[in-house]
A = this chain, B = another copy of it.
Amino acid sequence: MELNEALAQLAGLQKKLYAYDTARGALTLDAATVAPKGTAEGRGIVLGVLAGEEHRLFASSETGELLDLLWDRKDQLDQLHRRQVEELRRSYVQRKRIPAQEYMEYTQLVNQAEDLWLRAKEHSDFQLFRPALERLVAFSIKFAGYYDPAKAPYDALLGEYERGVDMAYLDGFFAALRERLVPLIRAIGEKEPPDDAFLHRHYPVEAQRRFSDYLMEVLELDRSHCAIGETEHPFTENFNNKDVRITTHYYEDDLASSMYSVIHEGGHAKYELNVADEVQYTCLAGGSSMGVHESQSRFYENLIGRSLPFIQAIFPQMREFFPEQLADVTAEQFYRAVNRVRPSLIRIDADELTYCLHVMVRYEIEKQLIGGTLEVKDIPETWNRLYKEYLGVEVPDDRQGCLQDSHWAGGSFGYFPSYALGSAYGAQMLKNMEGEMDVWGPVSRGDLSPVSAWLKDKVHRFGCLLEPAQVVDNACGKFDPAVFAGYLEKKYTELYDL
């Protein structure tokens, strides 16, 4: 086969994979946003078929031969095509090991599990979700063996979300953080907490919706390419760099919850919308890794969104959306309230400092679950014990405990550590950014464009053209978790006058 023809086939293959992935995404988005409750059955059939068809296509010997042929001529390929072949070969080898039937069953299971999880959460009834979760864990252990049979199962899963990261690495990372965060949290616990009661006044959903529109404007999200919807659990669905959807969840007694969900998911959306055109509809489209993705969402959410200059910039507008609720509140008080450190139950509403402890609970449980030393039936008890141990809080029910997150229902085991890694990457990016330009002047005027331009240049535009570690190098220099710990120490020492 001529090289040109092989490259045309490569592009065709990737467009097909893109199409299957997007169809799946559209159905999932629909399920989470507007689909009526009793519609899981048909959707399950469709998702199962699409997964089977995609698998049949991708795991075929024709695909293997095409990739081999191109790899043999890799010296003749430009960087774009070489990286495509490299990534596809990597996935191909893994996928080839998964029997088509198993892959379809797994896809159908995930569809059912998400439905069951929603209902279990609604009724705070873990037993409703347990059988599905047991099957998901069994599948994940099996799949881990397909991904990388040489590794311990949880290491193999972790590597799928953040290449190069394993338990040995994370044990060290979390230990280093814990060592510096635990005394900090303890010292803060002895201080008078700032008042945050005004965050829990009545904030009507309609006004919050308008506020979300405003926040998306501040983030410079182009609404002709980025929509916002409402779901039980906020998430971002990226179809391509001209079509990204974010979602949020409004609580009328909690202004900060949706506000920071919008900024967080908006950060994911910024990333996706900035990926270069040249990698669209290929395996290199989309963010580089989950850790890098979370570094961007948490950058906007915390490093910018929970900073004093940002809050001062948007506060006058905020008071127009909520004139009565915020009549007696200053920007400074708002800043203190949304940075109040309080060991709590819900990860996505946690402050920046205790957040990592929420992640550590999940990391410990996943490590044992996938390692085979914890049974699904014992998750609630273990969860509650670890929350008591790490955060000092009593979990009153599973809705606010082990049923709060959608990740496991979606089959994602090994994702959670990405949040902590991402936070740490982000802090180091900020440090570099501050060394190169004036970050806070523009932010204090509500202008995020210099920050976004820097992130686009160092992170976003590459998509997966660079390996995750290269992106981190590019934007952080040599990664050092101590920078993150230092950032937190400085911020909270000032805030709490330690």
Contacts and interface: CB of A to CB of B under 8 A. Distances in A.
Interface stretch (A34-42, A73-81, A169-177): A34-42
Contacts of A50: 19, 23
Interface string A388-402: 000000000000000
A473 interface: no
A229 B42 CA distance: 20
Contact of A36 (B26, B30, B225): B225
A39 B229 contact: no
A224 B37 contact: yes
A209 interface: no
Interface size class of A (residues with CB under 8 A): 35 or more
Interface string A20-46: 101100110110011111110111011
A15 B281 contact: no
Contacts of A16: 49, 53
Interface stretch (A130-138, A235-243, A259-267, A377-385): A235-243
Nearest to A49: B19
A242 B39 contact: yes
A151 B229 CA distance: 48
B226 A45 contact: no
A229 B240 CA distance: 24
A200 interface: no
Please give the count of copies of this chain that the complex contains: 2
Contact of A243 (B33, B43, B280): B43
Given A16-B53, A29-B30, A50-B23, A42 B227 contact: no
Contacts of A46: 18-19, 22-23
A35 to B, nearest CB: 7
A45 B18 contact: yes
A42 B285 CA distance: 12
Contacts of A18: 45-46, 49
A223 interface: yes
Given A42-B242, A42-B281, 17 more contacts: A15-B45, A16-B49, A16-B53, A18-B46, A19-B49, A22-B43, A26-B30, A33-B34, A34-B34, A34-B245, A35-B243, A36-B227, A39-B225, A39-B243, A41-B240, A42-B280, A53-B53
Interface of A: 15-16, 18-20, 22-23, 26-27, 29-30, 33-39, 41-43, 45-46, 48-50, 53, 222-227, 229, 239-240, 242-243, 245, 280-281
29 contacts: A15-B45, A16-B49, A18-B46, A19-B46, A19-B49, A19-B50, A22-B27, A22-B42, A23-B26, A23-B50, A26-B26, A26-B30, A29-B30, A34-B34, A34-B227, A34-B229, A34-B245, A36-B224, A36-B225, A36-B243, A37-B224, A38-B224, A38-B243, A39-B243, A42-B239, A42-B240, A42-B242, A42-B243, A42-B281
